[in-house]
Amino acid sequence: EISLKYGADRLGKRHDDSMRKFRDNRLGAFIHWGLYAIPGGEWNGKVYNGAAEWLKSWAKVPADEWLKLMDQWNPEKFNAKAWAKMAKKMGVKYVKITTKHHEGFCLWPSKYSQYTVAQTPYKKDILGELIKAYNDEGIDVHFYFSVMDWSHPDYRYDIKSKEDEAAFNRFLEFTDNQLKELATRYPTVKDFWFDGTWDASIKKNGWWTAHVEQMLKDMLPGVTINSRLRADDYGKRHFDSNGHLMGDYESGYERRLPDPVKDVKVTRWDWEACMTVPENQWGYHKDWSISYVKTPLEVLERIVHAVSMGGNMVVNFGPQADGDFRHEEKELADAIGKWMQEYGECIYGCDYAGWDKQSWGYYTRKGKDVYMVVFNPPYSKLLVVKTPKGTKVTKAVLLDGKDIGVKETARNEYNVNMPAKAPAGPFVIKLQIEEDASVTDKYRDALT
Ligand SMILES: Cc1ccc([C@@H]2N[C@@H](C)[C@@H](O)[C@H]2O)cc1
């Protein structure tokens, strides 16, 4: 291994209470809310099909013109308690909120910037209202924070001169101040999810990314930090030059997921995926007909897919400028919530089972319980299960306890029956297993 000053500061997963909670939460929601919600993808009468939170870039709007949108920021339908109730009903255990996206507009009254809610007709501290409302519902709050800031004159995409260096050092100090302000004002925050960290200017300042991780962990013991913040001594991101994950969980799966067969390696570390409901819209876009919009079932499958490989899933919501949600997102939250109400025990606190993926769906595991989450019931009405050496299946039940029968068909191979009345949608079967000592030890190692 090569010696690094700003590489991974830990090998392997964290197992402290805070990380355990992060992991056991499993299902989260993203809130992308900023000035971009006002134009909703349209500028000067032209609708842009790109991501709505990037409209400033697509329409080449100068920062000072874009920030004039602040004069229109007055979400009269905003009700933090209603947002928290919606999240509670959906069954999410945490919500990641955009404190500041690339545009530079802050949802909290930062004293280091003139582009904040305090300078809008709305005036009040939206971030503070949301944190209180979510925490009151027992929902953890995570902060999304974009380092790249299109409103700040000292931001640099690269460092090509002494002036660049001086400007960017001022910018990094400004960023430190905002991060300390967020950690001080909102000490119940559980995680920082950094974005806008891909430019050469950051990769040339890997030291700063290590300093930010340490600064936040000193201020908020237990807080989790995503891998996307981090660059090492040589500008390597997410995984350092020795291949070790930096930060506390990998955050590279954005709008994509690891393959259940080819990418099993991801089960060796913690990771969190995030997804959009349309093909690629994080902020509010007025016209969702411009791309495919995933059904609740397709969203559910991605949630289960992530958990089946030992990851978290964060489903995105892009609230309207008026502070209400579009009907598609309300209906989605409702549908997912109904499923989680009935089957959530195969999600919360669950992890990778270590069994070979089968075509009928996904396995998840919690201690001695292995769950089958069935998305594709076979015409044979027989659900094939192949167990690792030394593992036997002794019983198969529905979550109401009803035994549906399992038959051994070969060594480490079983047929689990489909329930007589096939449920109307994806359902869960719980397997009772027996593992001989060697296998159990492996799991005991993994879980301690
Ligand atoms: C190329 C690209 C840059 C930034 C993004 C941001 N990351 C997501 C989590 C959103 O915030 C999106 O604006 C997406 C794609």
Q: Is the pLDDT of residue 226 over 80?
A: yes
296 pLDDT higher than 50: yes
pLDDT of 448 above 50: no
Instruction: Tell me the DSSP string of 4-55.
Output: -SSS-S--S---SHHHHHHHHH-EEEEE--SGGGTTTTEETTEE--S-GGGH
**148 Cα to the center of ligand 1, angstroms:** 11
Which residue bears the tokens 């109904």? 338
CA of 110 to the centre of ligand 1 (A): 23
Average of pLDDT values for 408-430? Answer: 96
Whole-angstrom distance, CA of residue 106 vs CA of residue 86: 23
Q: Does the pLDDT value for residue 445 go beyond 60?
A: no
User: From ligand 1's centre to the CA of 169, what distance in Å?
Assistant: 24
How much is the average pLDDT of 89-103?
99
Q: Which two tokens stand for residue 189?
A: 């925050």
Nearest protein Cα to ligand 1, atom 7: 195
How far is it, in rounded angstroms, from Cα 101 to Cα 130? 17
Nearest Cα residue to atom 8 of ligand 1: 282
CB of 232 sitting under 6 A from ligand 1: no
228 burial type by CB count under 10 A (0-12 exposed, 13-18 middle, 19+ buried): buried
Distance CA 321, CA 307 (A): 32
Ligand 1 pocket, 273 CB below 6 A? Answer: no
* Residue 122 CB neighbour total at 10 angstroms: 16
125 lines ligand 1 (CB under 6 A): no
What is the spatial distance between Cα 33 and Cα 101, in angstroms, rounded to a whole number? 8
Q: Does the pLDDT at position 444 exceed 90? A: no
Average pLDDT over residues 210-225: 98
pLDDT for res 437: 83
CB atoms within 10 A of CB 267: 18
Q: Which residues of 333-343 are buried (b: 16+ CB within 10 A; e: fewer)?
A: bebbbebbeeb
Please report the pLDDT score of residue 301 as a whole number. 99
pLDDT of 441 above 60: no
> Residue 8 and residue 238: Cα distance in Å, rounded?
9
Size (the chain), residues: 448
* Ligand 1 pocket: which of 195, 256, 285 to mutate (most atoms within 8 A of CB): 195
Q: Which pLDDT score is estimated for 442? A: 56
Helix (H, G, I), strand (E, B) or coil at 327: helix
The terminus-to-terminus CA distance of the chain in angstroms comes to 27
- Per-residue pLDDT band at 231 (split at 50, 70, 90): very high
pLDDT reported for residue 6: 98
ipTM strictly over 0.90? yes
What pLDDT score does 208 carry?
98
* Mean predicted lDDT score pLDDT of the chain: 97
- Whether pLDDT at 438 is above 80: no
pLDDT band at 422 (very low <50, low <70, confident <90, very high): confident
The pTM of the whole model exceeds 0.90: yes
Contact 53 CB / ligand 1 (< 6 Å): yes
Q: From ligand 1's centre to the CA of 266, what distance in Å? A: 22
Mean per-residue pLDDT, 11-35: 98
Residue 425 DSSP one-character state: S
pLDDT tens figures, 235-283: 999 999 999 999 999 999 999 999 999 999 999 999 999 999 999 999 9
Bridging pattern class, strands 224-225 and 271-275: unpaired
Q: Is the pLDDT of residue 53 over 60?
A: yes
Report which DSSP code applies to 111: T
- What pLDDT score does 220 carry? 99
Q: Among positive and negative, which fits the CA dihedral 257, 258, 261, 266?
A: negative
102 CA closest ligand 1 atom index = 13
Q: Which of 358, 360, 362 is nearest to 377 (CA)?
A: 360
Give the SS3 label for residue 398: strand
Query: For 142, phi and psi rounded to 5 degrees?
Result: -115, 150
- Is the shortest distance between the CB of 52 and ligand 1 below 6 Å? no
Q: Per-residue pLDDT for 61 more than 50?
A: yes
- Percentage, residues of the chain above pLDDT 90: 97
For the chain, how big is the Rg over CA atoms in Å?
23
> Which residue minimizes the CA distance to atom 13 of ligand 1?
53
Cα separation, 109 vs 141, in Å, equals: 18
CB of 254 closer than 6 angstroms to any ligand 1 atom: yes
Average pLDDT over every residue of 26-42: 99
C-alpha span between 287 and 284 (Å, rounded): 9
Least confident range of 114-118, 170-174, 433-437: 433-437
Angle formed at CA 288 by CA 287 and CA 291, multiple of 5 degrees: 120
Mean pLDDT score, 384-400: 98
Pocket test for ligand 1, best of 227, 254, 272, 280 (most atoms within 8 A of CB): 254
Burial 89-119 (b: 16+ CB within 10 A, else e): bbbbbbbbbbbbbbbbbbbbbbeebebbbbb
pLDDT tens per residue across span 180-204: 999 999 999 999 999 999 999 999 9
d(CA 421, CA 290): 39
Model confidence at 11: pLDDT above 70: yes
Q: pLDDT, tens digit, for every residue of 254-263?
A: 999 999 999 9
Task: Please state the φ and ψ torsions of residue 224, each to the nearest 5 degrees.
Answer: -105, 150
